[in-house]
């Protein structure tokens, strides 16, 4: 028992001694563990494994508020097309008088106060004209002027010569007005019917072609009634509501009776005197003057008679000439209505 106690004391003494020897070592080791390791030592000690490059970079979510959306802007109209500007003025004829008239018609500058002395036309491209005015340069839309129009009228038919005339008119696509006499319509109903079928205008020229100043009102009424019925029977259509007095002569009685029938009196402005000369040259002398100038003007009513072969020849000559000059042939009622509006019964249009 005594020996065991001695052994315990010895072991305890050895442990105290061992602790006193080990404690400084542990304190030194702990202090060195708390000191930062130099970066060079870390890099030298780190393993030399290859580092893979990142294929994408993750972004943190936005913490800022998104900008406010702008209100939609109104859609702008498409840009206005401006007329082209020529590098050089084209060699094109400009009708100055027509340009000034049109310029005033559309208001011009300051309500049409610009006159010929204040407008200078520089050049034209298609339907656009470049102008220079006292108020500055600009473009003026100037479409070409409308073509001149005439009415070709034939009296006293229909006759056998009317057939050839109708064929020639059809080949040229020209329209005309025929003032027919009733007895010839009765004798040539198929020709009268063809006049209507071909799109021409047919109207009364009395039945027997009397001088109206030498007959009574009742006689004149009978002339108009018989001619109207003859045209209706031959063509199946009502005649045009116009009338041409024989020889172009009329008086108050004639105008009053015509008004009863709802008929205005239609005369002419160009007399070819075809019934007098009976030659193509004689007819053309009333169409072209001695200097070669055209006598026909826009709005003219031409008088001819389709009862002569020379009239047909002369008509074709003048038709071809007027077509070359740009004229358009229309019915006489259409021509006059474009000038005067609704034609009044008993009124006289044209001149002898």
Residue carrying structure tokens 């060079």: 40
pLDDT at 172: 97
- Sheet with strand 136-141: strands edge to edge: 119-125, 128-133, 136-141
| Location of structure tokens 């100038």 | 293
Q: Quick check: is 155 catalytic? A: yes
Where helices occur in the chain by DSSP H, the ranges are: 2-34, 39-45, 96-105, 160-172, 182-187, 189-197, 217-235, 252-260, 274-277, 280-284, 309-324, 332-340
Tens of pLDDT, residue by residue over 25-63, are 555 555 454 545 444 444 444 444 444 343 333 344 455
Residues of the chain predicted below pLDDT 70: 1-6, 9, 13, 16-17, 19-126, 129-142
- Residue among 130, 228, 286, 305 flagged as catalytic: 305
Any bridge partners for residue 131, and if so which? Answer: 121, 138
At 91 the pLDDT is 36
Alpha-carbon span 182 to 205, nearest angstrom: 8
pLDDT at 317: 97
Q: Which of 155, 156, 274, 300 is catalytic?
A: 155
- Residue ranges and CATH numbers for the domains of the chain are 96-141 (no CATH), 149-349 (3.20.20.370)
Output the CA angle 152-182-343, nearest 5 degrees.
50
Which residue bears the tokens 């001819």?
304
pTM score: 0.65
Note the pLDDT of residue 16. Answer: 66
């Amino acid at each position: 028992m005594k020996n065991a106690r001695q052994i315990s004391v010895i072991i305890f003494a050895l442990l105290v001694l061992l602790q006193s020897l080990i404690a400084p070592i542990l304190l030194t080791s702990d202090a060195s563990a708390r000191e930062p390791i130099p970066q060079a030592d870390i890099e030298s000690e780190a393993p030399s494994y290859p580092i893979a490059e990142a294929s994408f970079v993750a972004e943190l979510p936005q913490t800022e508020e998104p900008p406010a959306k702008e209100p939609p802007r109104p859609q702008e109209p498409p840009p206005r097309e401006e007329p082209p500007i020529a590098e050089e003025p084209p060699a094109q004829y400009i009708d100055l008088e027509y340009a000034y008239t049109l310029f005033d018609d559309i208001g011009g500058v300051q309500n049409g106060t610009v006159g010929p002395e204040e407008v200078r036309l520089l050049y034209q491209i298609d339907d656009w004209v470049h102008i220079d005015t006292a108020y500055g340069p600009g473009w003026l839309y100037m479409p070409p002027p409308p073509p001149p129009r005439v009415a070709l009228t034939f009296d006293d038919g229909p006759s056998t010569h009317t057939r050839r005339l109708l064929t020639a008119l059809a080949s040229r696509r020209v329209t005309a007005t025929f003032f027919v006499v009733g007895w010839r319509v009765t004798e040539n109903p198929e020709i009268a019917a063809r006049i209507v079928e071909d799109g021409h205008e047919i109207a009364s020229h009395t039945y027997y072609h009397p001088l109206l100043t030498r007959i009574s009102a009742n006689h004149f009424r009978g002339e108009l009634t018989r001619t109207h019925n003859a045209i209706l029977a031959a063509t199946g259509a009502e005649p045009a509501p116009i009338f041409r007095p024989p020889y172009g002569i009329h008086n108050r009685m004639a105008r009053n009776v015509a008004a009863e029938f709802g008929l205005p009196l239609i005369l002419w402005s160009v007399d070819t005197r075809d019934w007098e000369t009976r030659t193509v040259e004689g007819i053309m002398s009333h169409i072209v003057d001695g200097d070669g100038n055209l006598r026909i003007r826009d709005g003219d009513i031409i008088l001819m008679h389709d009862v002569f072969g020379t009239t047909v020849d002369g008509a074709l000559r003048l038709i071809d000439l007027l077509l070359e000059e740009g004229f358009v042939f229309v019915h006489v009622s259409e021509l006059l209505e474009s000038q005067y509006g609704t034609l009044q019964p008993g009124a006289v249009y044209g001149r002898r």
